[in-house]
Amino acid sequence: MHLHLTSVKYIGVAGLYDYGPPGSSLQANIIAEWRKHFIIEEHMLELDTTIMTPAPVFETSGHVARFADWMVKDTKTGDVLRADHLVKNVLEARLAGDKEARGMAAAPLTEDKKKKKKAAKSAAVKLADEVVTEYEAILAQLDNYSGPELGELCRKHNLRNPDTDNEVGEPQLFNLMFASSIGPTGQHPGYLRPETAQGHFLNFSRLLEFNNGRVPFASAQIGRSFRNEISPRAGLLRVREFTMAEIEHYVDPEDKSHERFSEVRDVKLTLLDRHVQEAGKSTTVEMTVGEAVDKGIIANETLGYFVARIYQFLLKIGINPQRLRFRQHMANEMAHYATDCWDAEIHNSTGWTECVGCADRAAYDLTVHTNKTGHPLVVRQALKEPIVTQKEIPEWNKKALGKTYKQDAGIIQKIVESMDQQELVKLKGELAQGKTVITSSDGAKQWELTPEVLTVELKTLKQSIREYTPNVIEPSFGLGRILYTLLEHSFWSREQDVERGVLSLPPVVAPTKVLIVPLSAREEFDPLVKEVSSKLRKAGVFSRVDDSNTSIGKRYARNDELGTPFGVTLDFASVQNRTMTLRERDTMDQRIGSIDDVIAVVTDLVFGNITWEEACERLPAYDGVQAIE
Amino acid sequence: MHLHLTSVKYIGVAGLYDYGPPGSSLQANIIAEWRKHFIIEEHMLELDTTIMTPAPVFETSGHVARFADWMVKDTKTGDVLRADHLVKNVLEARLAGDKEARGMAAAPLTEDKKKKKKAAKSAAVKLADEVVTEYEAILAQLDNYSGPELGELCRKHNLRNPDTDNEVGEPQLFNLMFASSIGPTGQHPGYLRPETAQGHFLNFSRLLEFNNGRVPFASAQIGRSFRNEISPRAGLLRVREFTMAEIEHYVDPEDKSHERFSEVRDVKLTLLDRHVQEAGKSTTVEMTVGEAVDKGIIANETLGYFVARIYQFLLKIGINPQRLRFRQHMANEMAHYATDCWDAEIHNSTGWTECVGCADRAAYDLTVHTNKTGHPLVVRQALKEPIVTQKEIPEWNKKALGKTYKQDAGIIQKIVESMDQQELVKLKGELAQGKTVITSSDGAKQWELTPEVLTVELKTLKQSIREYTPNVIEPSFGLGRILYTLLEHSFWSREQDVERGVLSLPPVVAPTKVLIVPLSAREEFDPLVKEVSSKLRKAGVFSRVDDSNTSIGKRYARNDELGTPFGVTLDFASVQNRTMTLRERDTMDQRIGSIDDVIAVVTDLVFGNITWEEACERLPAYDGVQAIE
């Protein structure tokens, strides 16, 4: 694998991973493809905002109060566990034990023992049928429980810390943001952002201006975020520092159609909707995005459009569609303001894992920041047809008002101007009779008003601008999780030798596209290696040379594990005849041709212009023997 | 400008900047060019390591003890100032006042008042000639003073807080790392990295292995770092969160030559060496890198190679070479372990600013981590010729040793085996006489040894592996500072209208390469806009459409300020004749040709294949009138 725990030689701090050279290239390639698929193709506005964020921003967004997980403490050791994970681990272990006791082949709980060493041990104990049903129902809606409900589950089902078999205490909230302090005086608390989204919202006005005041549009940001997870485990699936890619698509709340929806209408998805889950089941259905939106399963076109685009992106980088589903959030799981939310879940050795979220967050985010700062985050839209309304409007004789009422003039004006239409009509009637009396809000003072100071008139108003707070559709990608599941989906072993691993990454994301393998590091191959290397660079194809001191077969095997899709070999025939062989990673098939032909073919392969079958039509098979005179 | 203070609507926390769409594109393009210029061209190994770092890492590296600035507190208000900045601001203000008093046109201290509002006010007071000389000498070696020396300067020259005219206290160290805590228990202190370098060093063994055990090689990383600056000011020049690009080049300490040095030998640089500064002067010299290395001004070839490559990179992205110099660190300024260090300083409205550092850090970093973890970060090199040495070696009769000395046997062995060659020769002589006596280290015990238990023999040893700790050459780039100075160097105003700003960014870094300007947003232009847009995308040229409701001239002017180098206009003649005009930003020169010809020319321009002069040979001038039938 290309990833490893950071600082592991120093201290047992989990959840922080470094990416080595192939891992960081793979990540860079996934990001480049993401940028192309979303930012470039959809003309999104890219942002780069700060990670360190003054505390008031997250107070307003609600993160200080609510961005927290429920944790429980082992009553004896003080070990801290995430409450929902405890429930999941113990119940799954009991169900596995039950299956074993019933003589059914219990699917092994984990495929990789190292990754799940903390999973509860299962013992072959048969459970009553109704208990099995109850456990399964709990697991199906695990994300739906509140903290006190999780505590109740622990008591009712006697769920204990599987490591110690001790009881656990009541669930408590633990805020997941890393806190720090900005500046030398310690006056300004700050947090590391747990998502990039707030950075988008704070810049909304400038983005809107940059987009010439028009909606819909989207901002996009790729960057690091931080969550102080209670129990980071399972490789890259739950870490404390991770790279995200987030889109905030701003849309008119009265029109959530999408201009390009017709392009994705027929994309077929595997859906797990909220009703199925709330009924304690996990049955998925296959459906086109068009059908899901038409039937109201997915709330609107724009949300459906992004769900489909997420699906296309994941397939493009190599995720197995058979192990990908979209799960809708249940009522309690979703924030109260959200309209709808779908997670792209990818199956891996630990089960189904949320890798992308796609939510319609309504007007929540822009509204809370507007309220806090007094700076309105709104769209002002010129109306094609102005809206005409009639309204009673108070008109003052300012001179008479000041002269008659002196220092009270301001209060009197305020009282009248805060009246609604009905009150104004009443006032108008009284004034038409000659005078009226108004009273201060505390009832302590009264003033008599006459038509000399005040008249009320019915006026026709034309509203040519509509002002509204846009709604936000937010696709949010956890790139580390995607990368990790992609590695799992891509890895397999050769039939003839299980020790020989292959990583079938698509060329678009593979760290190295072409491996150049000279027969040996002997100087006579140097000019050819340089030529091929430079020609590939000019064609925009990233290659590496492996001239290490082992057999060609071993060098290929090593690079199969790194996911390099193509290899070219330079040998004595190359020096004499200027030929080169081309090898495909998955089939190990080899072809031969002139150096320039092979470079042209491999370039087309890397950029996805041709398939391997088409390449085979252009280059004859290599039989392992080259003529050398 | 494309950048703005983050969260400014919330709280006055300085030093945190967001990049909006053009700023973040400019940054992304600078990074892409950096990756090409360094990582790809030099086959560096790219890394992506974590920002959040367990505290022990920075304890070992020395950052916890020493990564700090000297701050002084205003004795009345408690305001905190950086000690060296206080000295600089006050002395520069006094020198400016002196110049004014002498009737010399004092160069305005600052070109942009907003940026330097905290600069000390200058009053026209004449200073004695020797005081002027003294102040100038202090300023020339400002980076050379320790904290107590800065305090002494404040007292001696009565330097006060320019904002309040109050005295300041003694300089105190303030650590610049942001602190946090990892995990729910609060047991693990962590810091946000202030540089990416430690992440490289912790991964050294894996990198070396990935490079097949060979040295020299380099690792590279682009990422965010954090410094809790005492007084962040001056736009992007001193901020609390910034993007860095760092290279750690590992080299044999006995051979710091560089394979490709001949390629840069003739690059001419402006150098300010340490001797000139230590003499209180700032006189630069022009010299080729080859000459500087030959004369020992730059310590070695590898360091010189990187200084030259830094120079080439900065010019490529548009930095003005007239405002770029390389300044050598003075003795006190440099870490004690470093061999040599040169900063690329770029001139801007605030003076000369360090934007890239290039240091030979010797074996310091790998040695401290090796000592702390016990995991040796070394290179094991197979020697072509084994080194043959002769050595006296003690040989034990273990059985007799144990039987005779029982529990003392271990101590005796330890004493003898820690002897040096001279002592062993003496021991050998005594044993040849029949016996010897050795004494415990505290002198309390003595043992008699005979040839039956111990002999000393001269043996011939062959060493076929050389083990060494590589030295590290570290080029370290502050990308925000480079971006900011680049904006200053690129910005100018049209002679005929100072309100019309132009940002002369080279195409390679410009956020948008080509602006597509339809005469209006009318539907008849849509097919052509789509065609041009799609053809440019296919050619790999990033374009934007501006169909906003203003004149073509205004749209061009707006995009001149964003640095867009080329514009193409679609009008009625385009619809009828399929022609398009091409405009160059700096000259405002316009050419005309068929849509496909213009796309071909502009693609060559963007990729730097041709100059504007060559483009003019391919496309005739546009006289402002197109024939429409």
Token pair of A288, please? 């086109």
Q: Which residues make Cβ contacts (< 8 Å) with residue A215, sequence separation at least 6? A: A208, A250, A251, A252, A379, A381, A470
- The residue among A479 and B22 whose pLDDT is bigger is A479
Searching chain A, which residue's CA lies closest to the CA of residue B220? Answer: A21
User: What is the architecture of the domain spanning A386-465?
Assistant: 2-Layer Sandwich (3.30)
Q: How far apart are alpha carbons A221 and A249 in whole angstroms?
A: 12
Reply yes or no on whether the pLDDT at A320 is more than 80.
yes
Model confidence at A116, pLDDT cuts 50, 70, 90, reads very low
A47, A203 contact by CB (below 8 A)? yes
Chain segment A462-521, per-residue pLDDT in tens: 889 999 999 999 999 999 999 999 999 999 999 888 888 999 999 999 999 999 999 987
> Counting one residue from A and one from B, how many pairs have CB atoms under 8 Å apart?
198
Q: Which residues pair with B567 in a beta bridge?
A: B515, B583
Q: How far apart are alpha carbons A127 and A328 in whole angstroms?
A: 31
| A191 burial type by CB count under 10 A (0-12 exposed, 13-18 middle, 19+ buried) | buried
Q: Which residues make Cβ contacts (< 8 Å) with residue B164, sequence separation at least 6? A: B74, B76, B77, B79
Q: How far apart are alpha carbons A71 and A215 in whole angstroms?
A: 42
Chain segment A425-440, per-residue pLDDT in tens: 999 999 999 899 999 8
| Residues of chain A found within 8 Å of residue B226, distances taken between Cβ atoms | 51-52
Query: Min CA distance, A564 vs chain B (Å)?
Result: 15
Q: How far apart are alpha carbons B266 and B290 in whole angstroms?
A: 6
State residue A94's pLDDT score.
93
Reply yes or no on whether the pLDDT at B108 is more than 60.
no
Least Cα distance to B7 among A369, A183, A371, A471 occurs for: A369
DSSP states of A453-513: TEEEEEEEEEEEEEEEPPEEEEEEEEHHHHHHHHHHHHEEEETTEEEEEEE---TTT-S-S
**Numbered ranges of CATH 3.30.40.230 in chain A:** 68-175
Q: How far apart are alpha carbons A223 and A193 in whole angstroms?
A: 10
Instruction: Choose from A2, A4, A10, A373 for mutation: most chain B CBs within 10 A.
Output: A10
Searching chain A, which residue's CA lies closest to the CA of residue B218? Answer: A21
Model confidence at A9, pLDDT cuts 50, 70, 90, reads very low
Query: Min CA distance, B214 vs chain A (Å)?
Result: 10
* Interface residue A260 vs chain B (CB under 8 A): no
| Rounded alpha-carbon distances, angstroms, from residue B9 to A269, A372, A375, A381, B5 | 42, 9, 8, 24, 9
Reply yes or no on whether the pLDDT at B9 is more than 80.
no
Backbone torsions φ then ψ of A258, nearest 5 degrees = -130, 130
Query: Which CATH number applies to A512-618?
Result: 3.40.50.800
Q: How far apart are alpha carbons A26 and B505 in whole angstroms?
A: 31
State residue B116's pLDDT score.
41
* Interface residue B410 vs chain A (CB under 8 A): no
* C-alpha atoms less than 13 angstroms from C-alpha of B413 in its C-beta half-sphere: 16
Nearest to B51 among A20, A224, A230 (CB): A224
Polymer length in residues for chain B: 629
Q: In what order do the strands lie in the sheet with A188-192?
A: A52-54, A188-192, A179-182
* B220 sits in which H/E element: strand B217-226
Token pair 């105003």: residue: B493
Nearest to A50 among B17, B27, B206 (CB): B17
* C-alpha atoms less than 13 angstroms from C-alpha of A175 in its C-beta half-sphere: 14
Task: Indicate the fold that domain B3-64+176-366+471-480 takes in CATH.
Answer: BirA Bifunctional Protein; domain 2 (3.30.930)
Token pair 């305090």: residue: B151
State residue B234's pLDDT score.
61
* Interface residue B19 vs chain A (CB under 8 A): yes
Model confidence at B353, pLDDT cuts 50, 70, 90, reads very high
State the average pLDDT for chain B. 89
**Numbered ranges of CATH 3.30.930.10 in chain A:** 3-61+188-366+471-479
Instruction: Choose from A50, A60, A196 for mutation: most chain B CBs within 10 A.
Output: A50
Compute the average pLDDT of residues A573-601. Answer: 95
State residue A115's pLDDT score.
41
Q: Cβ separation of A48 and B23 shorter than 8 Å?
A: yes
A14-30 burial: b if 16+ Cβ within 10 Å, else e = bbbbbbbbbbbbbbbbb
Token pair of B508, please? 């390679």
Token pair 């956020």: residue: B511
B130-139 burial: b if 16+ Cβ within 10 Å, else e = eebebbeebe
B471-478 and B454-468 strand pairing = unpaired
* Interface residue A28 vs chain B (CB under 8 A): yes
| Residues of chain B found within 8 Å of residue A9, distances taken between Cβ atoms | 202, 373, 375
Q: How far apart are alpha carbons B449 and A588 in whole angstroms?
A: 68
A238, A229 contact by CB (below 8 A)? yes
A566-570 and A52-54 strand pairing = unpaired
B217-226 and B45-46 strand pairing = parallel
Cis peptide before B216 (omega within 30 of 0): yes
Q: How far apart are alpha carbons A34 and A44 in whole angstroms?
A: 12
**Numbered ranges of CATH 3.30.720.200 in chain B:** 384-468
State residue A120's pLDDT score.
64
**Numbered ranges of CATH 3.30.930.10 in chain B:** 3-64+176-366+471-480
Q: Cβ separation of B16 and A192 shorter than 8 Å?
A: no
Chain segment B263-301, per-residue pLDDT in tens: 999 999 999 999 999 888 889 999 999 999 999 999 999
- Among A residues 42-101, those touching chain B with beta carbons less than 8 Å apart: 43, 45-54, 56-57, 60, 71, 78, 80
- The residue among B336 and B509 whose pLDDT is bigger is B509
| B266 burial type by CB count under 10 A (0-12 exposed, 13-18 middle, 19+ buried) | exposed
B515, B567 contact by CB (below 8 A)? yes
Reply yes or no on whether the pLDDT at B155 is more than 50.
yes
> Per residue, what are the HEC states of B238-295?
CCCEEEEEEEEEEECCCCCCCCCHHHHCCCEEEEECHHHHHCCCCCCEEEEHHHHHHC
Reply yes or no on whether the pLDDT at B16 is more than 90.
no
Reply yes or no on whether the pLDDT at A113 is more than 90.
no
Searching chain B, which residue's CA lies closest to the CA of residue A221? Answer: B24
Model confidence at B236, pLDDT cuts 50, 70, 90, reads confident
| Residue B113: DSSP 8-state | G
State residue B489's pLDDT score.
95
State residue A499's pLDDT score.
84
Q: How far apart are alpha carbons B441 and B346 in whole angstroms?
A: 60
Token pair of A412, please? 């009197």
Task: Indicate the fold that domain B384-468 takes in CATH.
Answer: 3.30.720
| Residues of chain A found within 8 Å of residue B544, distances taken between Cβ atoms | 43
Token pair 């309040």: residue: B164
Chain segment A59-84, per-residue pLDDT in tens: 999 899 888 899 999 999 888 899 99
- Among B residues 144-203, those touching chain A with beta carbons less than 8 Å apart: 174, 178-185, 188, 190, 192, 199, 202-203
Q: Cβ separation of A9 and B375 shorter than 8 Å?
A: yes
State the average pLDDT for chain A. 89
Model confidence at A112, pLDDT cuts 50, 70, 90, reads very low
Instruction: Choose from B3, B10, B207, B520 for mutation: most chain A CBs within 10 A.
Output: B10
Backbone torsions φ then ψ of A311, nearest 5 degrees = -55, -45
Searching chain B, which residue's CA lies closest to the CA of residue A226? Answer: B52
Name which of A37-46, A404-413, A577-586, B121-130 the model is least confident about.
B121-130
Nearest to B185 among A10, A16, A80 (CB): A80
State residue B323's pLDDT score.
97
Q: How far apart are alpha carbons A277 and A298 in whole angstroms?
A: 15
Reply yes or no on whether the pLDDT at B8 is more than 50.
no
- Identify the CATH homologous superfamily for domain A3-61+188-366+471-479: Bira Bifunctional Protein; Domain 2 (3.30.930.10)
Model confidence at A106, pLDDT cuts 50, 70, 90, reads low
Reply yes or no on whether the pLDDT at A107 is more than 70.
no
Chain segment B585-627, per-residue pLDDT in tens: 999 999 999 999 999 999 999 999 999 999 999 999 998 765 5
| CATH class of the B499-618 domain in this structure | alpha beta
A543-545 and A514-518 strand pairing = parallel
Reply yes or no on whether the pLDDT at A160 is more than 80.
yes
* Interface residue A10 vs chain B (CB under 8 A): yes
State residue B105's pLDDT score.
64
Reply yes or no on whether the pLDDT at A110 is more than 70.
no
| Rounded alpha-carbon distances, angstroms, from residue A306 to A27, A42, A287 | 22, 11, 15
Compute the average pLDDT of residues A594-618. Answer: 95
Backbone torsions φ then ψ of B357, nearest 5 degrees = -110, 145
Percent composition of chain A: helix, strand, coil (DSSP 3-state, to 5):
35, 30, 35
Searching chain A, which residue's CA lies closest to the CA of residue B78? Answer: A185
3-state SS, residue A547: coil
**Numbered ranges of CATH 3.40.50.800 in chain B:** 499-618
Compute the average pLDDT of residues B554-578. Answer: 93
B557, B578 contact by CB (below 8 A)? no
Instruction: Choose from B50, B543, B559 for mutation: most chain A CBs within 10 A.
Output: B50
Please give the ipTM for the structure prediction. Answer: 0.81
| Rounded alpha-carbon distances, angstroms, from residue B516 to A4, A215, B539, B557 | 46, 20, 15, 13
Task: Indicate the fold that domain B68-175 takes in CATH.
Answer: Herpes Virus-1 (3.30.40)
State residue A7's pLDDT score.
41
Token pair of A323, please? 């192990």
- Which sign does the torsion angle of CA A191, A192, A195, A196 carry? positive
Reply yes or no on whether the pLDDT at B487 is more than 70.
yes
Compute the average pLDDT of residues A252-274. Answer: 96
